[in-house]
Amino acid sequence: MKAGRIVVLGFGVLCLCCGCQKKPLANARTPLHDAAMRGDCGRIRTLLAEGMAVDVRDEFGVPPLYHAAREGHKDAAELLIDAGASVQAVRRGGVSPLHEAAAAGHLDVVRLLISKGADVNALVGSDRTPLYDAVRGDYKDIAETLLAAGAKLDIGDQTIDKLFHTAASQGSEKVLETLIARGANLNCTTDRGVSTLHKAAYRGHAGVVRLLLAHGADVHARGGEG
């Protein structure tokens, strides 16, 4: 037993001497991910200068830029991009840095990613786009920024009517105004016949109900159950 322990201990010492501890385990989160999450530009520069790959993935398949975008660290995100990070790199499932920035309401990061070539129509599954995330969060400025950059209202299984329903069910009054201005049907219904007005009323979003009525939504529309 003692001999075995000595061998293990010796191997550990050898690893320390050779710098093995600086190499992250396969797919484990790296110091660069942590620095990106904190927005620590100084640390990011140091790690990149030491040779760490800018698009290294963590255990969930997430690159550092994704963390910077999600946390709203514009300067860190720009530093990573300028060092070669791909704005199109996605985590498992297809979620991009632009999706995360839009979902978290970080307008400055959204603008940065768009200016660097991020795909404003990137789809997760068949119907989740950065615009959808902005609608869910009621981030009107982000939604309008995405639309101005070419985001489509109708793409995959996403339609303007579905976005309208999402906004109504989430109580996203500001975004509803944007969608109405873009031609959303006030009286559109789900596949089960539920109108946006019914959905907003059911969820208790009084402000949305007032908005829809002010724009002429049909107060007599039947719900999905008749």
Measured at the alpha carbon of residue 219, what is the angle toward residues 168 and 158, in degrees to the nearest 5? 30
Query: Given this model, what pLDDT does residue 16 score?
Result: 41
Query: Given this model, what pLDDT does residue 22 score?
Result: 46
Tokens 């840095």 sit at which residue? 97
pTM of the predicted model as reported, rounded to 2 decimal places: 0.82
Following DSSP, what letter does each residue of 11-66 receive, concatenated?
Answer: HHHHHHHHTGGGSPPTT---HHHHHHHHT-HHHHHHHHHTT--TT---TTS--HHH
Query: Given this model, what pLDDT does residue 30 score?
Result: 95
pLDDT tens digits, 32-56: 999 999 999 999 999 999 999 999 9
Alpha-carbon distance of 157 to 32, in angstroms, equals 36
**Domains in the chain, ordered, with CATH?**
29-124 (1.25.40.20), 153-225 (1.25.40.20)
Instruction: For CA atoms 118, 119, 120, 126, give the dihedral sign.
Output: negative
Q: Residues of the chain whose pLDDT is less than 50?
A: 1-27, 225-226
Query: Given this model, what pLDDT does residue 1 score?
Result: 46
Query: Given this model, what pLDDT does residue 225 score?
Result: 47
Residues paired with 195 in a beta bridge: 189
Query: Given this model, what pLDDT does residue 220 score?
Result: 78
| 188, 164 contact by CB (below 8 A) | yes
Query: Given this model, what pLDDT does residue 89 score?
Result: 87
Query: Given this model, what pLDDT does residue 193 score?
Result: 85
195 three-state secondary structure:
strand
Compute φ and ψ for 62, nearest 5 degrees: -100, 130
Q: What is the CA radius of gyration of the chain?
A: 23
Neighbours of 105 (CB within 10 A): 16
